[in-house]
A and B are shown apart, each in its own frame.
Chain A
Amino acid sequence: MPLYHDEDQAMLADTATSFMAEQGNIKDQLRHWRDRDCPDGFGHGLWKQMAEMGFTGMLVGEDDGGLGMGHVEAGIVLEEIGRNLTPSPFLTSSVLAATALKHGSNDLKGRYLPGLIEGDSVFAVAIDETPKHRPSRITTRAEKSGNGFKLSGSKSFVIQGASADMLVVAARTSGSDEDDDGITLFAVPKDAANMSHDSVRLVDSSMATHTKFDGVELDGDAVIGEVDGGREVLNAMLTAGRIGAAAEGVGVASGAMDITVDYLKQRKQFGKLIGEFQALQHRASHLYSEVEIARAAVIKAQQLLDGGSEKAELMSSVAKAKVAKTAGLAVKEGVQMHGGIGMTDEYDIGLYMKRDRALQEFLGDAYFHANRVAEMSGY
């Protein structure tokens, strides 16, 4: 498959680009909700509109009422979300949770997927337990209790945890903390007793929770996939999420680069446009190269995943690491080249820097993924 968008995908990209620029732009979404201290960190109205556009259920199979599209298509939407810094539950709900629910029972799908597709529900994923992403180590426990389970432990960096109608929780049902086996995924409903959220606003103005499970009672049908055999589902969810986060990151990098290059063409100093200075031209051109390469890594990973290739795993880490480095460069160069006004809240470049920082930590940073590339390559 050639590494560019086919005709249908290019059409979708046109649609997504204009939709996000019109409805999801920084002024109307990110700044709007942030300046109102919105407890959700995003707008439900936009989520509903995204459902009307057919975005919310893109990765849900046609049999389950979705569009049955692939990760290339989801990535198209994510890149525009990144470019506009649009606060939205798309990555957690439509990519991560939807991937997990593919492995769920028909009951579970019937309970949750219609709400997702309609844009009435949002989901969160609860994986991390430490400030750094270490999914190989799961200590939250779910013990057998009657027909169901009792969930105890705590999770952090649960994006939109307090706003979610359902949380996908990775817990240990047997074995010791670092075992591959013994993991089970649960769909925990919003109103579960003995679950508490400690909400925090993050640097990018998104909302996350530290979530505590203090003996949360779950029915047996809350299990997604196999009991004790959840690692595979978890990995599938993580791979999809990482590739999705990489796609969003390319959007962040592109958006930051574009406003910076525009600025170089407008701002005058010493009687010249600063874009005339070779020192800045070379840095901008280097950044352009890095963004293009990162974008190639992302579409490669998306296509491998959609094609069911076993190389998707390696490429997901390549893409996440490459994008983390690239978007990091884009926002740092962006703020620096904007000079003093780059430090002001009024200009958008700083918002890109904050979003990038949060996105870098989400599902593993460049170091985590470069390390994985080394491990998968056998060294």
Chain B
Amino acid sequence: MSDLEAFREETRSWLEANCPAEMREPVRDEEDIYWGGRRATFKNDAQKAWFEACVAKGYTVPAWPKEYGGAGLSPAEAKVLRQEMTRIKARIPLSSFGIWMLGPALLHFGTEEQKKHFLGQIARGEIRWCQGYSEPGSGSDLVSLQTYGEDKGDHWVVNGQKVWTSYADQADWIFCLVRTDKENKYKGITFMLFDTASEGCSTKPIKLISGNSPFCETFMEDVKVPKSYGEGIPAYVGEINRGWDVAKYLLGHEREMISGADGGNTGTVGSAMSRHVAKGGDELDPVLRAELAMFDVDALAYGAMGEKFLDEIKVGKAHPAQPNMMKYAGTELNKRRHELMMSAGGSRSLEWESEETSGGKPSRNWLRTKANSIEGGTSEVMLNVISKRILDLPGS
């Protein structure tokens, strides 16, 4: 038996012993997702047991090194774990912007002490992070941001406003882009980390068209951000004034995530929707059926692209701007998916509040997807990047 097969067997029995049956059910509402942090509570014992087992094993961040709270799995082992978790439909034990976004940036740019300090906290779900990138007036055009940190020697005094800070009202810390040099557009931004409970920092939810409110505005009035949290633990990632490099690196990860390049976004809809329609005693309109079939072709092809992309990333074959293409195509596909699901659901899917729709899930999800091609860089920005960096078309 190869090492990998042995690992698979071992993983199977570990999952069998540690993943409770309740954690193998699809996520139904926000409470089913565990985000960690100082204020977190578990929905039930099963969620707690599953989370704790994963923390102990390093499985909240399986591919991170052991000294930072991970399991130190090789890419091949991490893939086996993912496959085995998918096989039993295991829920993600810990959802976290710390894992998805800040972690990769720290792994790449952080000092050793900084990694030990912050990554461990992230892996154990102790601190919940939010992202402070966009500002009113600088969304996709991030380098125009205005939030300013005035240098006061051992600390900055930060003033400004961030917007679209997802879940900031429930987060403990923020990773935040702050202008520290007004003269230099690109080389005047610092990537700072600070506690949102700091004096002068406040946050307010933004109600969206979906009726839900994962997004917030965050205000900073004379917030004091120290330059260091201890020996070798700077309060910034990378170098002062070079935060744009970190932000760009991180956006690459964010785009992969939003595009669902991990395979989470490649589902077809035709067969499920036709069963759904049939259950209501109706028949699928032939034209709708045709649209569903065309969609499924695109979704299955995009699924193959996601696989190919990940395979190519592993061996460094993917173009560095390829995540932009994945993000563009994936988000446009997802919007189309939900349009079709609304059509197939008919009047039932319009119900904003009913038991049958679990409180308007179809319509709320549909509305939510409209942000897919705006957040993390709009589709138009993705197309700009493809045309400049991949097709090498001239700048205007």
Q: Which residue numbers of A lie inside 8 Å of B, CB to CB? A: 2-4, 261, 264-265, 272-273, 275-278, 281-282, 284-286, 288-290, 292-294, 296-297, 299-300, 314-315, 317-319, 321-322, 325, 366-367, 369-371, 373-374, 377-379
Instruction: Give the nearest-CB partner of B305 in chain A.
Output: A296
A/B interface sample: 14 pairs, CB < 8 A: A265-B393, A278-B396, A282-B384, A284-B391, A285-B328, A285-B382, A285-B383, A293-B304, A297-B305, A300-B304, A367-B290, A370-B294, A377-B271, A378-B271
The reply to whether A3 and B304 contact each other, CB–CB distance below 8 Å, is yes
Say whether chain B's binding surface is mostly helix, strand, loop, or mixed: helix
**Shortest CB–CB separation between residue A69 and chain B, in angstroms?**
21
The reply to whether B301 and A4 contact each other, CB–CB distance below 8 Å, is no
**B window 266-288: CB within 8 A of A:** 268, 270-271, 273-275, 284
The reply to whether B311 and A373 contact each other, CB–CB distance below 8 Å, is no
**Shortest CB–CB separation between residue A328 and chain B, in angstroms?**
13
A281, A299, A315, A322: residue with the most chain B Cβ atoms closer than 10 Å: A281
Contacts A276-B396, A317-B297, A373-B293 aside, 12 further interface pairs with beta carbons under 8 A come to: A272-B396, A276-B394, A281-B391, A285-B391, A293-B302, A297-B300, A297-B305, A366-B297, A371-B293, A373-B270, A377-B271, A379-B270
**B window 364-396: CB within 8 A of A:** 380, 382-384, 386-387, 390-396
**Shortest CB–CB separation between residue B277 and chain A, in angstroms?**
9
Q: Kindly list chain B residues whose C-beta atoms are within 8 Å of the C-beta of A282.
A: 380, 383-384, 387
**Shortest CB–CB separation between residue A49 and chain B, in angstroms?**
31
Q: Kindly list chain B residues whose C-beta atoms are within 8 Å of the C-beta of A289.
A: 325, 328-329, 386
Q: 4 shortest A-B CB distances, which residue pairs? A: A379-B274, A3-B308, A285-B386, A300-B304
The reply to whether B393 and A281 contact each other, CB–CB distance below 8 Å, is yes
The reply to whether A277 and B304 contact each other, CB–CB distance below 8 Å, is no
Contact of B28 with A by CB under 8 A: no
The reply to whether A3 and B296 contact each other, CB–CB distance below 8 Å, is no
The reply to whether A377 and B268 contact each other, CB–CB distance below 8 Å, is yes
* Contact-residue size bin, chain B (C-beta under 8 Å from the other chain): 35 or more
Rounded to whole angstroms, the CA-CA distance of A4 and B315 in the bound complex is 10
**Shortest CB–CB separation between residue B320 and chain A, in angstroms?**
14
Say whether chain A's binding surface is mostly helix, strand, loop, or mixed: helix
**Shortest CB–CB separation between residue A107 and chain B, in angstroms?**
40
Contact of B31 with A by CB under 8 A: no
Rounded to whole angstroms, the CA-CA distance of A71 and B228 in the bound complex is 58
Q: Which of A299, A325, A366, A374 contacts B296 (CB 8 A)?
A: A374
**Shortest CB–CB separation between residue A292 and chain B, in angstroms?**
6
Rounded to whole angstroms, the CA-CA distance of A293 and B393 in the bound complex is 21
Rounded to whole angstroms, the CA-CA distance of A277 and B394 in the bound complex is 9
Instruction: Give the nearest-CB partner of B392 in chain A.
Output: A265
Q: Which of A292, A296, A318 contacts B297 (CB 8 A)?
A: A318
**B window 250-277: CB within 8 A of A:** 268, 270-271, 273-275
The reply to whether B391 and A294 contact each other, CB–CB distance below 8 Å, is no
Q: Kindly list chain A residues whose C-beta atoms are within 8 Å of the C-beta of B384.
A: 278, 281-282, 285
The reply to whether B317 and A4 contact each other, CB–CB distance below 8 Å, is yes
The reply to whether A373 and B394 contact each other, CB–CB distance below 8 Å, is no
Q: Kindly list chain A residues whose C-beta atoms are within 8 Å of the C-beta of B315.
A: 2, 4
Q: Which of A265, A277, A319, A374 contacts B289 (CB 8 A)?
A: A374
**Shortest CB–CB separation between residue B306 and chain A, in angstroms?**
8
Q: Kindly list chain B residues whose C-beta atoms are within 8 Å of the C-beta of A371.
A: 290, 293
Q: Kindly list chain A residues whose C-beta atoms are within 8 Å of the C-beta of B396.
A: 272, 276-278
Contact of B223 with A by CB under 8 A: no
Instruction: Give the nearest-CB partner of A264 in chain B.
Output: B393
With A4-B317, A276-B395, A281-B387 given, is the CB distance from A293 to B289 under 8 Å? no
The reply to whether B325 and A292 contact each other, CB–CB distance below 8 Å, is yes
Contact of B5 with A by CB under 8 A: no
**Shortest CB–CB separation between residue A311 and chain B, in angstroms?**
10
With A282-B380, A282-B387 given, is the CB distance from A296 to B304 under 8 Å? yes
The reply to whether B305 and A293 contact each other, CB–CB distance below 8 Å, is yes
Q: Kindly list chain B residues whose C-beta atoms are within 8 Å of the C-beta of A378.
A: 271, 274
Rounded to whole angstroms, the CA-CA distance of A261 and B393 in the bound complex is 8
The reply to whether A284 and B387 contact each other, CB–CB distance below 8 Å, is yes
Q: Which of B329, B383, B386, B387 contacts A293 (CB 8 A)?
A: B329
Instruction: Give the nearest-CB partner of A286 in chain B.
Output: B383
**Shortest CB–CB separation between residue A274 and chain B, in angstroms?**
9
The reply to whether A4 and B304 contact each other, CB–CB distance below 8 Å, is no
**Shortest CB–CB separation between residue A277 and chain B, in angstroms?**
7
Q: Kindly list chain A residues whose C-beta atoms are within 8 Å of the C-beta of B270.
A: 373-374, 377, 379
Rounded to whole angstroms, the CA-CA distance of A297 and B300 in the bound complex is 8
Rounded to whole angstroms, the CA-CA distance of A272 and B393 in the bound complex is 12
Contact of B16 with A by CB under 8 A: no
The reply to whether A285 and B292 contact each other, CB–CB distance below 8 Å, is no
Rounded to whole angstroms, the CA-CA distance of A367 and B312 in the bound complex is 31
Q: What is the 8 Å Cβ interface bit string for chain B, positions 66-96, against chain A (1 contact, 0 not)?
A: 0000000000000000000000000000000
**Shortest CB–CB separation between residue B329 and chain A, in angstroms?**
5
Q: Kindly list chain A residues whose C-beta atoms are within 8 Å of the C-beta of B305.
A: 292-293, 296-297
Contact of B32 with A by CB under 8 A: no
**Shortest CB–CB separation between residue A110 and chain B, in angstroms?**
39
The reply to whether B296 and A285 contact each other, CB–CB distance below 8 Å, is no
Rounded to whole angstroms, the CA-CA distance of A367 and B289 in the bound complex is 12
Instruction: Give the nearest-CB partner of B326 in chain A.
Output: A289
Q: Kindly list chain B residues whose C-beta atoms are within 8 Å of the C-beta of A297.
A: 300-301, 304-305
Rounded to whole angstroms, the CA-CA distance of A265 and B393 in the bound complex is 6
The reply to whether A281 and B297 contact each other, CB–CB distance below 8 Å, is no
The reply to whether A3 and B380 contact each other, CB–CB distance below 8 Å, is no
Rounded to whole angstroms, the CA-CA distance of A293 and B304 in the bound complex is 8
The reply to whether B301 and A294 contact each other, CB–CB distance below 8 Å, is yes
**Shortest CB–CB separation between residue B309 and chain A, in angstroms?**
8
Instruction: Give the nearest-CB partner of A304 in chain B.
Output: B304
The reply to whether A281 and B383 contact each other, CB–CB distance below 8 Å, is yes
The reply to whether B292 and A273 contact each other, CB–CB distance below 8 Å, is no
The reply to whether A322 and B301 contact each other, CB–CB distance below 8 Å, is yes
The reply to whether B311 and A4 contact each other, CB–CB distance below 8 Å, is yes
The reply to whether A319 and B301 contact each other, CB–CB distance below 8 Å, is yes
Q: Kindly list chain B residues whose C-beta atoms are within 8 Å of the C-beta of A4.
A: 308, 311-312, 315, 317
A2, A273, A285, A297: residue with the most chain B Cβ atoms closer than 10 Å: A285
**Shortest CB–CB separation between residue B259 and chain A, in angstroms?**
11
Rounded to whole angstroms, the CA-CA distance of A367 and B294 in the bound complex is 8
Rounded to whole angstroms, the CA-CA distance of A170 and B104 in the bound complex is 58
Q: Kindly list chain B residues whose C-beta atoms are within 8 Å of the C-beta of A286.
A: 328, 383
The reply to whether B304 and A275 contact each other, CB–CB distance below 8 Å, is no
Contact of B112 with A by CB under 8 A: no
Q: What is the 8 Å Cβ interface bit string for chain B, positions 307-351, against chain A (1 contact, 0 not)?
A: 111011011010000000100110000000000000000000000
Q: Kindly list chain B residues whose C-beta atoms are within 8 Å of the C-beta of A374.
A: 270, 289, 292-293, 296
